Amino acid sequence: MRFENKIAIVTGAGQGIGEAYARALAREGAAVVVAEISEENGQRVAQEIVGTGGRALFVKTDVSSPESAANLAARAVEVFGGVDLLINNAAIFAGMRRESLLEVDYAYYQRFMEVNMNGALIVTRAVYKLMVERGGGAIVNQSSTAAYEAGNYYKIAKTGLNAITIGLARELGPLNIRVNGVAPGPTDTTATRTSVPPERLQALLSTLPLRRIGTTQDIVNTCLFLLSTDAGWVTGQTWCVDGGAVLKI
């Protein structure tokens, strides 16, 4: 029960890794705000957490909107009394367009970057003062090993997010708020199965030192460590959880 009496927000918590984060935090004692743009998915996750004895609240949230993020923060205070922990997980991934930088529709590109990169900053700006009121907190931003490869706007967004993690860690550290990132490699989720062709996924897995696809629990384990007091002197870092996909000095 590492997070007993803590209040956590998880964006994009209606499915996949975000859902796994929300459920894991609830199991370890946190009250969880399920911030999700899909009302159906968000309500389902929150209700199922409550149904198993946990505390959860669904708030329909568009992380690209400062107004929506402000409402998210206000609802967390209204129902649970504040915010201690934040996981910026929301992203456009399942079903995303795979087009070149020179050809992708610019309005789509702008929307994509607002969600996948700037959303973490927008939600952090909305909640960090609430963390300060409770003595500090911890934030984890969901990156990707794609950040370490050349490629399209998804990779660019995650590279930018890593830089945002570093910048926020420097600014929020004096306020006793730690900011880190998790960069999953290929992970067994519905989004991966529907967005990555099977032959491409198998080719990728064959190059990994650990030779298997990741599970959501692999990612959850690292994220919860970074949120916990066990990582109390860790900030500004993005940890690759990827079976060895990214090997760097």
pLDDT in tens, the chain (249 residues): 999 999 999 999 999 999 999 999 999 999 999 999 999 999 999 999 999 999 999 999 999 999 999 999 999 999 999 999 999 999 998 788 889 999 999 999 999 999 999 999 999 999 999 999 999 999 999 999 989 987 889 999 999 999 999 999 999 999 999 999 999 988 888 777 777 778 888 888 888 899 898 899 999 999 999 999 999 999 999 999 999 988 876
Q: Is residue 74 part of a domain?
A: yes
Tokens of 229: 């007091």
Tokens of 89: 């997980």
Tokens of 52: 């198993």
Q: Identify the CATH number of the domain in which residue 138 sits.
A: 3.40.50.720
Known catalytic residue at 154: yes
Instruction: Look at residue 229 in the predicted model and tell me its pLDDT.
Output: 97
Q: Is residue 2 part of a domain?
A: no
Q: Is residue 126 part of a domain?
A: yes
> Which spans in 173-227 are helix H?
190-195, 198-205, 216-227
β-bridge partners, 36? 60
Q: Is residue 246 part of a domain?
A: no
AA identity, residue 74: A
d(Cα 175, Cα 213) in Å, to the nearest integer?
Answer: 38
Instruction: Look at residue 149 in the predicted model and tell me its pLDDT.
Output: 85
pTM (2 d.p.): 0.94
Count of domains in the chain?
1
d(Cα 8, Cα 24) in Å, to the nearest integer?
Answer: 11
Instruction: Look at residue 196 in the predicted model and tell me its pLDDT.
Output: 76
Q: Is residue 201 part of a domain?
A: yes
Classify burial at 71, counting beta carbons within 10 Å of its beta carbon; exposed 0-12, middle 13-18, buried 19 or more. middle
Strands laid side by side in the 137-142 sheet: 55-60, 31-36, 7-11, 85-88, 137-142, 177-184, 238-241
Instruction: Look at residue 167 in the predicted model and tell me its pLDDT.
Output: 98
Instruction: Look at residue 249 in the predicted model and tell me its pLDDT.
Output: 64
Q: Is residue 244 part of a domain?
A: no
Q: Is residue 18 part of a domain?
A: yes
Q: Is residue 247 part of a domain?
A: no
* Domain range enclosing 52: 7-238
Instruction: Return the SS3 of 56.
Output: strand
AA identity, residue 178: R
Count of CB atoms within 10 A of residue 162's CB? 20
| CA distances, 45 to each of 4, 21, 58, 139, 240 (Å) | 20, 11, 8, 21, 27
**Catalytic residue from among 21, 128, 153, 154:** 154
